[in-house]
Amino acid sequence: MARIELIDVVKRFKGETVIPNLNLTIREGSFTVLVGPSGCGKSTTLRMIAGLERQTSGDIRIDGELVNDTEPGKRDVAMVFQNYALYPNMTVRGNIEFGLKNRGVPKRERERLIRDICEIAGLTPYLDKKPQSLSGGQRQRVALARAMVKNPKVFILDEPLSNLDAKLRGQMRTELIELHKRLGTTFVYVTHDQVEAMSMGDRIVVMNKGEVMQAAPPMVLYEDPDNLFTAQFIGTPP
Ligand code: ADP
Ligand code: MG
C-alpha cells in the first residue's frame, strides 16, 4: 500500500502547458479513479507517477519519499496499459516470467509466483498458450498478472478495459474491484467513462484541462457536486 502526493505539479510539452498546477493526494489502499474528457491530462498524470514522464516542476512523493529523481523501475509502481503490449512469440508463462528473469528472481521462486498469480488471475489453463490464441479479456489478465508478479505498492491502470466489448468490460470491472480488495494495494485507475469511474472507484478525481475539479467518493459527486463541470460531466450519459 502506498500514499501518493502530487504537490504543485506542472507539466509542459514544448512550451505548451498541459498541467498548470496539480495538487492531489491519493490515499493509501484506495481505488482512486481519475476521470475527465479526452486530452485533460489523465495519462500524463499517471506517467508522471510511474516515472515514465518527468514533471516540469513540482514534487511527487510516494509514502512520503520524494521520487522526482527516482527511475521508474525503482518506484515500486506497476503500470497496465490499454494495449497490453504482450510479447507475441512468448507463451503466457513466458510473458509473465520475462520481467522476473530480468530482475534475477530465482527459478523456483519464479515458478511459485507464476503459479499463485495465475491462479488468482484465472490463467492457469492458458499458461502454455500464445497471446494470439487468447481472447481480449484473457490478454488483459496476462497484462495484469505481469504487473502483479512485481508485488508493487501501487497499481496504475490506464484505460485497461477500453479495448474490450461491453459484456467483458463489465465482468473485468468486477474482477478488478475484487482484485483490489484482495491485494489491498493502492490502485490508480484512469477512464474517460464516468459510469465506469462511478462504479469502480472508492474515490473519484474529476479532471479538466489538467486541473482537479473535484475529488470525492462517488456518492458525494452525485449528490453534492462542487461545480458545474463536475455536475455536467458526471450527469451526462456516456
Ligand atoms: P488524457 O489521457 O486525459 O486523454 P493526455 O495526458 O494523454 O490526456 O494528454 C494531455 C495533453 O497533453 C493533450 O493535449 C496531449 O496532446 C498532450 N500530450 C501528451 N503527451 C504529449 C507528448 N509526449 N508531447 C506533446 N504533447 C503531449
Ligand atoms: Mg489517456
* 172 compared with 216, residue with greater pLDDT: 216
As a whole number, the mean pLDDT across the chain is: 93
Which pLDDT score is estimated for 237? 60
Which pLDDT score is estimated for 124? 94
Instruction: Confirm or reject: Cβ of 18 under 6 Å from ligand 1.
Output: yes
Q: pTM for the complete prediction? A: 0.92
Cβ atoms 65, 101 nearer than 8 A: no
pLDDT in tens, 178-196: 999 988 999 999 999 999 9
pLDDT in tens, 106-144: 999 999 999 999 988 889 999 999 999 998 888 988 998
Residues 20-44 have a mean pLDDT of 97
Distances (CA, A) of 64 to 26, 68, 139, 142: 12, 12, 35, 31
In percent, the amount of the chain with pLDDT more than 70 equals 98
Q: Which of 17, 19, 43 has the most ligand 1 atoms within 8 A of CB, as the residue to mutate?
A: 43
Q: Which of 6, 10, 13 has the most ligand 1 atoms within 8 A of CB, as the residue to mutate?
A: 13
Instruction: Confirm or reject: Cβ of 191 under 6 Å from ligand 1.
Output: no
Instruction: Confirm or reject: Cβ of 210 under 6 Å from ligand 1.
Output: no
Q: Which of 44, 49, 205 has the most ligand 1 atoms within 8 A of CB, as the residue to mutate?
A: 44
Nearest one of 77, 70, 71, 80 to 26, comparing CA atoms: 77
Q: Dihedrals φ, ψ of 210, to 5°? A: 75, 10
Query: pLDDT band at 76, cuts 50/70/90?
Result: very high
Residue type, 161: L
Residue nearest atom 7 of ligand 1, based on CA coordinates? 43
Q: How far apart are the first and last CA of the chain?
A: 32
Residue nearest atom 11 of ligand 1, based on CA coordinates? 39
In percent, the amount of the chain with pLDDT more than 90 equals 75
pLDDT for 230 beyond 90: yes
Which pLDDT score is estimated for 167? 85
CA atoms within 13 A on the CB side of 9: 30
Instruction: Confirm or reject: Cβ of 40 under 6 Å from ligand 1.
Output: yes
For the CA atoms of 176, 177, 179, 184, the dihedral, rounded to the nearest 10 degrees, stands at: 130
Which pLDDT score is estimated for 238? 55
Query: pLDDT band at 99, cuts 50/70/90?
Result: confident
CA–centroid distance, 15 to ligand 1, in Å, is 13
Q: Which residue has the cell 479495448?
A: 163
Instruction: Confirm or reject: Cβ of 214 under 6 Å from ligand 1.
Output: no
Which pLDDT score is estimated for 4? 98
Query: pLDDT band at 81, cuts 50/70/90?
Result: confident
